[in-house]
Amino acid sequence: MTAKKIYFGTNLKMYKGNAEVVQYLSELSDFATTFKSEYDIQLFVIPSYTTLKDAVELVKSKTGRPKIKIGAQNMNPNDNGQFTGEISPLMLKELGIELVMIGHSERRHVMKETDQEENEKVLASLKHNFITLLCIGETLEQKNYNISDEVLRTQLKIGLQGVTAEQLSKLWIAYEPVWAIGTEGIPASAEYADEKHAVIKQCLFELFAEESKKIPVLYGGSVNPENANGLIVKPHIDGLFVGRSAWNAPNFHALITDALNTLSGDKTEVPLTNEFTETAVQLIEQLGGKANISALTHCATRIRVVLKNDGKMNKSAIEKIDGVKGLFSITNQYQIILGAEIVKQVHDEMKKLLI
């Protein structure tokens, strides 16, 4: 039986210059030899344009090591033309690039790219035989309107218009909820992410029938060491597209190793999570981590926290967590309003995690 493929990758955005990327990839490539798993591990890194040539050469030079696929962060759909500042598929092929990312949320929402533009790029990328990573995801406003499923299905149906069944072996999908990305992003709960992955896979099945099972669906959106294990064991999640938690090679190696150990272990030993566990995990992270919490109590409607360093707390991120109704401080104590119906359950889960 062929081993199931599990994907781990990262997009370096506009961080790390050429020397930093070469050093990072060298370390990551060496670490990759230590992965012990019954799974087929696929690593990929998507650095900036100016680093691509040396990144490809570094990966090629690491013979005898698991292959890291190098990707481009964007691509013009035209082979050539009067498009100043753009990069064509032919230019990327010349560099030896294997993967192209299309439709990252920053391209959609900062650069104002449309679903139709993403479709043009997807078709061009597949035509040139690149692995094509199409990113999709809903905004917080769309989530609050309860139209997340419709948004994801629309992005898929337009973005993949004209793709043939023969091209599906080169197609990957990344689900990255917009509200979960960036320095103030709130990770989706493992249950929510898996639910949306199921929606994505159902839509892909409607488009491509049985052939759709060739398409891996990866989760990205503030993946970190505290939530990676809960995400990777979900049945509809085929891999993790990690952000800043992957930008240090030893940290990325540790995250992957831990996730693989969780996957490979006895599933009965994987801690079961519920909505209160996920809320507790998110609160601890945005309060600055376990080491930053010196005291934790609760009353009828709120959790009371004393922190060692207020500067490590992300107030705006806490206020965006599902179930949080408000945050305020009294003297040296922060009070997180949750409501009588869930405050004890969330407090109890936080206490377990802090042990």
Please provide the average confidence, as pLDDT, over all residues in the chain: 92
User: What are the pLDDT digits (tens) for 219-243?
Assistant: 999 899 989 999 999 999 999 999 9
State CA 346 to chain mean position distance. 25
Instruction: Tell me which of 140, 165, 299, 340 is the catalytic residue.
Output: 299
Query: Looking at residue 257, what is its pLDDT?
Result: 94
Contact 181, 135 (CB under 8 A): no
In degrees rounded to 5, what are phi and psi of residue 34?
A: -95, -10
Angle between helices 190-208 and 148-159 (to 10 degrees): 40
Candidates 172, 139, 154, 153; CA nearest to 5 is 172
Confidence band, pLDDT 50/70/90 cuts, at residue 37: confident
Residue 299 annotated among the catalytic residues of the structure: yes
User: What are the pLDDT digits (tens) for 238-252?
Assistant: 999 999 999 999 999
Mean pLDDT (whole number) for 265-288: 69
User: What are the pLDDT digits (tens) for 163-208?
Assistant: 999 999 999 999 999 999 876 778 889 999 999 999 999 999 999 9
Which stretch of 3-12, 32-41, 131-140, 258-267 has the lowest confidence by average pLDDT? 258-267
Q: pTM of the entire structure?
A: 0.76
Query: Looking at residue 274, what is its pLDDT?
Result: 58
